[in-house]
């Protein structure tokens, strides 16, 4: 993808308004069989809510959706209205005059998406935008790769890159992680424990994301340094090639990883079939099964991110030297 195509895929985030709300006691959530409406109070007009907006409201006020969905409409409206009084300050995400999300008030600076992409492009030689995920809370996760490639083993090349997470609406501080793309298949994996991770705001000074602010230099420098971590990634993968998994522990370890990564249904069945056809003999094989799911089988962005988190924990040297963080098997 090029920059224009990336910006086009970011349209669900970019083509929104964020209305910052100071809670008013007269705020009212009303529910009918046809529609849920949000009346901010203080004489402001009533806004309809999408189904996703209603779910985000329930989660925001601490009412788990499986429970909220079973409540009588009037009960849900009253409970949500009461719980919202504890929040005081929050933001409504509005698209086409309909509330699509209720989120925590952004405490961070907004990020001009086009400026950020231009800065990222200067940080990696021969950059390619590989994949973009739109996450909850108006967060964009962008995977980029460059020209640098190294073999983990003969015939098994990986390509250097970076995974960048930011919010054009300022709901999070930007984060850049080292990223590697396995070229035998597009089996990408990130790791934020043994490799490199950079957080905007950690000793970076101020910066509001405006023209001339040093956040653009931070995007460029952090992407460049994450991209340069390829050798360390290769080294860790090669170590994992030599970390054998006893035959009797392979199935239980895989099941533990599937549970932690919340991989179920057809995706889990496919991974188990792959493991039967080519049993994972070492920890590198095991990691590639889960990252295959995140790059080929899982469709929802939050599922991809969850699978990555499990891989990150699994690959970490400090914990893996003592006990496997996934299956809790103690290592010698």
Q: Are 60 and 102 in contact (CB under 8 A)?
A: yes
Write down the pLDDT at residue 208: 40
47 and 84 together in one domain: yes
Residue 95: give its domain's CATH number.
2.40.50
Would you say residue 93 lies in a domain?
A: yes
The structural domain count of the chain equals 3
211 and 230 together in one domain: yes
pTM of the predicted model, to two decimals? 0.75
Write down the pLDDT at residue 3: 93
What the block records as the tokens of 2 is 């090029």
Would you say residue 51 lies in a domain?
A: yes
Write down the pLDDT at residue 281: 95
By three-state DSSP, how is residue 37 classified?
A: strand
Q: Are 184 and 165 in contact (CB under 8 A)?
A: no
Would you say residue 332 lies in a domain?
A: no
226 and 270 together in one domain: no
214 and 168 together in one domain: yes
232 and 278 together in one domain: no
Would you say residue 326 lies in a domain?
A: no
* E-assigned strand segments in 80-224: 89-95, 98-104, 128-135, 139-153, 156-166, 175-182, 187-190, 197-199
Would you say residue 75 lies in a domain?
A: yes
Write down the pLDDT at residue 205: 39
82 and 152 together in one domain: no
Would you say residue 199 lies in a domain?
A: yes
Write down the pLDDT at residue 191: 64
133 and 97 together in one domain: no
Which structural domain, as residue segments, surrounds residue 59? 15-104
* Domain stops at, among 55, 87, 104: 104
88 and 128 together in one domain: no
Q: Find the Cα–Cα–Cα–Cα dihedral 111, 113, 119, 124, rounded to 10°.
A: 120
77 and 184 together in one domain: no
d(CA 272, CA 255) in angstroms, rounded, equals 9
What the block records as the tokens of 215 is 């956040």
Would you say residue 185 lies in a domain?
A: yes
123 and 185 together in one domain: yes
Digit-by-digit pLDDT tens for the chain (332 residues) are 999 999 999 988 888 888 888 888 888 898 887 889 998 876 667 889 998 889 989 988 999 888 988 888 889 999 999 998 888 888 888 888 899 888 777 656 678 999 999 999 999 989 999 999 998 778 999 999 999 999 999 889 999 999 999 988 887 889 999 888 998 777 777 765 555 778 886 544 333 444 445 889 999 999 999 999 899 889 989 999 999 999 999 999 999 999 989 999 999 999 999 999 999 999 999 999 998 998 888 888 888 888 888 887 777 655 555 445 555 555 54
Write down the pLDDT at residue 270: 95
Q: What is the 3-state secondary structure (H, E, C) of 314-330?
A: HHCHHHHCCECCCCCCE
228 and 124 together in one domain: yes
Residue 5's contacts (CB-CB under 8 Å, 6 or more residues apart) are 129
268 and 315 together in one domain: yes
Write down the pLDDT at residue 212: 44
Write down the pLDDT at residue 324: 57
* Domain stops at, among 236, 261, 289: 236
Would you say residue 187 lies in a domain?
A: yes
64 φψ region: left (φ > 0), alpha (ψ -120 to 50), beta (else) = beta
* Domain stops at, among 236, 270, 286: 236
Q: Are 327 and 252 in contact (CB under 8 A)?
A: yes
């Amino acid at each position: 993808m090029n920059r224009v195509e990336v910006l086009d895929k970011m349209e669900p985030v970019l083509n929104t308004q964020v209305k910052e709300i100071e809670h008013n006691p007269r705020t009212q959530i009303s529910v009918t069989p046809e529609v849920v409406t949000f009346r901010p109070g203080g004489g402001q007009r009533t806004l309809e809510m999408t189904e996703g907006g209603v779910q985000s409201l329930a989660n925001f006020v601490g009412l788990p959706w499986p429970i909220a969905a079973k409540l009588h409409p009037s009960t849900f409206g009253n409970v949500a209205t009461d719980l919202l009084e504890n929040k005081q300050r929050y933001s409504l995400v509005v698209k086409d005059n309909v509330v699509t999300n209720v989120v925590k008030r952004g405490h961070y600076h907004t990020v001009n998406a086009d400026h950020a992409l231009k800065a990222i492009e200067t940080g990696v030689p021969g950059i390619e935008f590989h994949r973009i995920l739109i996450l909850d809370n108006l967060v964009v996760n962008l995977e980029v790769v460059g020209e640098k490639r190294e073999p983990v083993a003969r015939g098994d090349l990986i390509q250097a890159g970076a995974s960048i997470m930011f919010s054009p609406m300022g709901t999070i501080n930007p984060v850049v992680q080292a990223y590697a793309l396995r070229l035998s298949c597009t089996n990408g994996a990130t790791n934020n424990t043994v490799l490199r991770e950079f957080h905007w705001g950690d000793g970076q000074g101020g910066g509001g994301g405006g023209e001339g602010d040093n956040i653009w230099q931070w995007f460029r420098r952090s992407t460049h340094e994450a991209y340069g971590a390829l050798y360390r990634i290769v080294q860790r993968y090669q170590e994992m090639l030599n970390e054998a998994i006893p035959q009797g522990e392979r199935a239980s370890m895989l099941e533990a990883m599937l549970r932690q990564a919340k991989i179920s249904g057809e995706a889990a069945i496919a991974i188990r079939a792959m493991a039967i056809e080519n049993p994972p003999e070492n920890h590198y094989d095991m990691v590639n099964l889960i990252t295959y799911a995140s790059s080929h089988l899982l469709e929802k962005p939050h599922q991809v991110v969850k699978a990555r988190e499990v891989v990150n924990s699994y690959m970490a040297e400090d914990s893996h030297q003592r006990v496997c963080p996934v299956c809790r098997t103690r290592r010698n």
